[in-house]
């Protein structure tokens, strides 16, 4: 079982719609959860992070965490063509040593005109 799982997509949404990106993780002791955006040919860029159950909003982005279900999601409201990218979910596992990020394989989002 992969430690962090994402649907590879592509997820296609029309401009102005809500894009919903999902991520599940296997280690119940996971502490922190991150969403990165990666444009083709570029390095990952941090969008949001969340530690506590519930929702965290930042502009058009909302991260949702449900530790009981081991599930974290990213909602993008009013999707724009510039949001088209691969979105990587990352989790800090409880290793007992300096925390390390484990990445999912990413979901490719396409926002269509």
Partner 1 sequence: SAVISQKPSRDICQRGTSLTIQCQVDSQVTMMFWYRQQPGQSLTLIATANQGSEATYESGFVIDKFPISRPNLTFSTLTVSNMSPEDSSIYLCSVRLAGLVTQFFGPGTRLTVL
Name the residues that contact partner 1, by CB under 8 A.
32, 34, 36, 42-46, 49, 88, 92, 98-106
CB of 60 to partner 1, least distance (A): 20
CB of 65 to partner 1, least distance (A): 15
- 65: which residues sit within 8 A by CB, 6+ positions away? 33, 50, 51, 52, 53, 54, 56, 71, 72
CB of 17 to partner 1, least distance (A): 26
Would you say 14 or 29 has its CB closer to partner 1? 29
Would you say 97 or 113 has its CB closer to partner 1? 97
| Burial classification of residue 59, based on how many CB atoms lie within 10 Å of its CB (0-12 exposed, 13-18 middle, 19 or more buried) | exposed
């Amino acid at each position: 079982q992969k430690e962090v799982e994402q649907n590879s997509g592509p997820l296609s949404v029309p401009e102005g719609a809500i894009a919903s990106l999902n991520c599940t993780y296997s280690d119940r002791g996971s502490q922190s959860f991150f969403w990165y955006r990666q444009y083709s040919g570029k390095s990952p860029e941090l969008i949001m992070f969340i530690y506590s159950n519930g929702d965290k909003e930042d502009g058009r982005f909302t991260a949702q965490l449900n530790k009981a279900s081991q599930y974290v999601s990213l909602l993008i409201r009013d999707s724009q063509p510039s949001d088209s990218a691969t979105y990587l979910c990352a989790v800090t596992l409880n290793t007992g040593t300096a925390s390390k990020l484990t990445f999912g394989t990413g979901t490719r989002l396409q926002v269509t005109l």
